[in-house]
Amino acid sequence: MKRIPSVRERNIVLIGFMGVGKTSVGEQLAKRLFRDFIDVDQEIEKTWKMKISDIFRLKGEEAFRKIEREMTIDYCTNTSLKVISLGGGAYMQDAIRTACLDHCIVIYLDLSWSLWKERLNVLIDNRPVLQDKKVEEMEQLFTKRQPTYQKNSFQVETDGREVAEIVSYLEEVIKLGWEIYGS
Ligand code: S3P
C-alpha cells in the first residue's frame, strides 16, 4: 500500500471541463507555491510525440484513455509537492478519481455553461471530444460530467474572475488548509 503524503506534501490536482483554465491557473499556482507544474495532457503528447487530436485520430479514444489513466495515476500517487492539471475527461475514470481523492487535494474549477459556451470558438479546434458535436450535445456532456466534478476537496467559482484572482484565492485557501490540517 502506498504511503499517503502529509497534507502539506500532497499534490494539488486541478479538475474541470475542457477550457475552464486548468493549465493557466495551474502554472501560476505552482509558481506561487514554489512547486513544479505538470499538465498530464502535455506529458502524454511528449510521451507519444503526437498532439492529443492526432492520438484520438490515429490510435482512438480508448488508447488515449488508457495512457491517460496510467500516467495520471502515476503522477498522482508516485510524486508529491506538485500542482497537476488533468484532462477534462480524466476524472470520469473511476480509478483516476479514487487515486486523486486518496492521495491529493482535488480542486474543481467551476465555470457556468453560458460562459463556457462563449469560449467554444477558441476551444473546438484542438478538442477532439467536441468535434462533430452539436452545441446541445456539448451541453449534455457538460451537464453529465458535473456531478462527478462535485466529488472534490474544494471548488472555486471562476465566472467573471481573472486567472490572477482565482490563483490568489486558491493560494489563500490552500495555505489556510495547511495551517489547520498540516503537519
Ligand atoms: C478531454 C479534455 C482534454 C483532453 C482530451 C479529452 C475531455 O483536456 O484530455 O481532448 O474528454 O474532456 P482539457 O480539459 O485540458 O482540454
Phi and psi torsions of 97, nearest 5° = -60, -45
Taking the model in full, what pTM does it have?
Answer: 0.97
What's the CA gap between 109 and 167, in Å, rounded?
11
**C-alpha 183 – ligand 1 centre gap (Å):** 34
Res. 129: pLDDT tops 90: yes
Residue 20: predicted pLDDT: 97
Res. 177: pLDDT tops 60: yes
**C-alpha 37 – ligand 1 centre gap (Å):** 17
User: Which residue's alpha carbon is nearest to atom 2 within ligand 1?
Assistant: 88
Annotated binding-site residue? 21: yes
User: Which residue's alpha carbon is nearest to atom 4 within ligand 1?
Assistant: 87
Res. 1: pLDDT tops 60: no
What's the CA gap between 166 and 29, in Å, rounded?
9
**C-alpha 177 – ligand 1 centre gap (Å):** 29
- Domains in the chain and their CATH numbers? 11-175 (3.40.50.300)
pLDDT digits (tens, 9 = 90+) for 58-87: 999 999 999 999 999 999 999 999 999 999
* Residue whose cell numbers read 451541453: 139
Q: CB of 52 closer than 6 A to ligand 1?
A: yes
Q: CB of 141 closer than 6 A to ligand 1?
A: no
Question: With bands split at pLDDT 50, 70 and 90, how would you rate the model's confidence at 3?
Answer: confident
What's the CA gap between 22 and 106, in Å, rounded?
12
Res. 57: pLDDT tops 70: yes
Res. 182: pLDDT tops 80: no
Atom of ligand 1 nearest to the CA of 23: 15
**C-alpha 51 – ligand 1 centre gap (Å):** 12
Q: CB of 128 closer than 6 A to ligand 1?
A: yes
- Residue 70, all three cell numbers: 496510467
**C-alpha 57 – ligand 1 centre gap (Å):** 14
Please compute the mean of the pLDDT values over residues 98-105 and round it to a whole number.
Answer: 97
pLDDT digits (tens, 9 = 90+) for 11-38: 999 999 999 999 999 999 999 999 999 9
Please compute the mean of the pLDDT values over residues 120-148 and round it to a whole number.
Answer: 95
List Cβ neighbours of 25 (8 Å cut-off, separation of 6 or more).
Answer: 14, 85, 109, 163, 166, 167, 170
Cα 36 to chain center, whole Å?
15
